């Protein structure tokens, strides 16, 4: 509640240091991204695919049709039943992991800084994806999709990806819907989509989530809020300026006003959670006050985002 924290809510530039440190890397390298849905990939990978294909794991039989590969004919069935059946195998293929980070001006706020926290989460999830031979693509957006990292596979891309993330600079207004629509169009392959934002968008978050859900992506919304937003350390007569659009609101802080604010914030978070659950998406709202390691190792696991 002290005045210092009030005026200096923390900026992205203030916080330095690597996005991922060695200790954390060691702890999360055994994790893997968990997809709820079986997804298709381009290459034969480590993930089971819904697509039946070539692998060692048997899935089913189906009647032979002209053109089928004769190598997969089940001769023992033919001998027993005198019918030509083809063996079907579960095809294992690589999984796509998309991480979308909101880098709008509103994310450059809070102590610890929200954007930094979001980038760290993106880095951690990307790392997990890369070491598990997933194809990891990253997008950074504000009012539109600003930068993208083309999906790549393998640990060797980690450094490139981290550099990509570290080059992120905050700025611009939030337009979730536009950015997500663009990203979904550019990345048509299904996969796990992690959307990291504060979801403080006047125009709403619903469309953004819908674009991914409609493409049957496995969506995970990670909402990042700072302690200063959850419990504003404000007092007195203030002129609040919106860092994104410069909108000014004059308030006189009082018990009821703060209560109303918190009610509205809870309604926003609750609405988002409800919306996600209805559409089979996962949702987690975290405060940047939560230790980052706890988020990755504990909370994301609980949510089933990683396993």
Q: How many CA atoms lie within 13 A of 35 on its CB side?
A: 26
Contacts to another protein from residues 209-238, by CB under 8 A: 226, 229, 232, 234-238
CB of 237 to another protein, least distance (A): 5
Contacts to another protein from residues 175-214, by CB under 8 A: 198, 200, 202
Q: Are strands 47-63 and 85-93 parallel, antiparallel or unpaired?
A: antiparallel
For residue 43, state whether it binds another protein (rule: CB under 8 A).
Answer: no
**Among 156, 159, 239, 278, interactor with another protein by CB under 8 A:** 239
The CB density around residue 239, as the number of other CB atoms within 10 Å, is 8
Part of the chain binding another protein (CB under 8 A), chosen from 121-129, 145-153, 210-218, 246-254: 246-254
Binding mask 103-132 for another protein (x = CB under 8 A): ---xx-xx---x------------------
Cα–Cα distances in angstroms (integers) from residue 160 to residues 126, 141, 153, 168, 196, in the given order? 11, 19, 12, 13, 20
The CB density around residue 184, as the number of other CB atoms within 10 Å, is 21
Burial 1-15 (b: 16+ CB within 10 A, else e): eeeeeeeebbbbeee
**Among 70, 167, 255, 278, interactor with another protein by CB under 8 A:** 255
Residue 96 phi/psi, 5-degree rounding, is -95, 130
For residue 2, state whether it binds another protein (rule: CB under 8 A).
Answer: no
**Among 13, 81, 214, 260, interactor with another protein by CB under 8 A:** 260
| Nearest residue to 184 via CA among 153, 132, 148 | 148
For residues 278 and 209, give the distance between their C-alpha atoms in angstroms, rounded to a whole number.
11
CB of 261 to another protein, least distance (A): 4
CB 174 within 8 A of CB 203: no
**Among 4, 26, 70, 248, interactor with another protein by CB under 8 A:** 248
For residues 87 and 74, give the distance between their C-alpha atoms in angstroms, rounded to a whole number.
6
CB of 7 to another protein, least distance (A): 7
CB of 265 to another protein, least distance (A): 5
Query: Binding residues for another protein, per CB under 8 A?
Result: 6-7, 9, 106-107, 109-110, 114, 198, 200, 202, 226, 229, 232, 234-244, 247-251, 253-258, 260-261, 263-265, 268
């Amino acid at each position: 509640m002290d005045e210092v924290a009030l005026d200096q809510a923390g900026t992205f530039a203030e916080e330095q240091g690597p996005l991922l440190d060695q200790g954390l890397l060691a702890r999360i390298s055994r994790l893997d991204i968990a997809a709820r849905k079986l997804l298709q990939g381009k290459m034969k990978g480590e993930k089971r695919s819904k697509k039946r294909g070539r692998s060692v794991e048997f899935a089913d039989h189906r009647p032979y049709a002209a053109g089928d590969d004769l190598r997969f004919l089940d001769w023992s069935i033919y001998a027993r039943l005198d019918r030509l059946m083809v063996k079907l195998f579960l095809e294992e293929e690589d999984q796509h992991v998309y991480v979308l980070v909101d880098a709008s001006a509103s994310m450059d706020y809070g102590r610890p800084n929200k954007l930094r926290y979001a980038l760290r989460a993106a880095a951690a999830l990307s790392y997990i994806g890369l070491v598990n031979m997933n194809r990891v693509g990253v997008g950074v957006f504000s009012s539109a999709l600003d930068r993208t990292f083309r999906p790549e596979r393998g640990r060797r891309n980690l450094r490139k990806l981290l550099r990509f993330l570290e080059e992120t600079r905050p700025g611009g207004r939030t337009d979730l819907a536009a950015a997500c629509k663009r990203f979904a169009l550019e990345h048509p392959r299904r996969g796990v989509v992690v959307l990291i934002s504060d979801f403080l968008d006047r125009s709403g978050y619903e469309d953004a989530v819908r674009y991914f859900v409609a493409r049957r992506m496995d969506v995970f919304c990670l909402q990042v809020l700072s302690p200063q937003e959850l419990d504003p350390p404000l007092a007195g007569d203030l002129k609040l300026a919106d860092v994104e659009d410069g909108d000014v609101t004059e308030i006189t802080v009082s018990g009821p006003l703060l209560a109303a604010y918190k009610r509205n914030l809870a309604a926003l978070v609750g609405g988002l959670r409800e919306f996600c659950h209805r559409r089979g998406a996962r949702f987690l709202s975290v405060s940047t006050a939560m230790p980052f390691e706890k988020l990755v190792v504990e909370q994301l696991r609980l949510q089933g985002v990683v396993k």
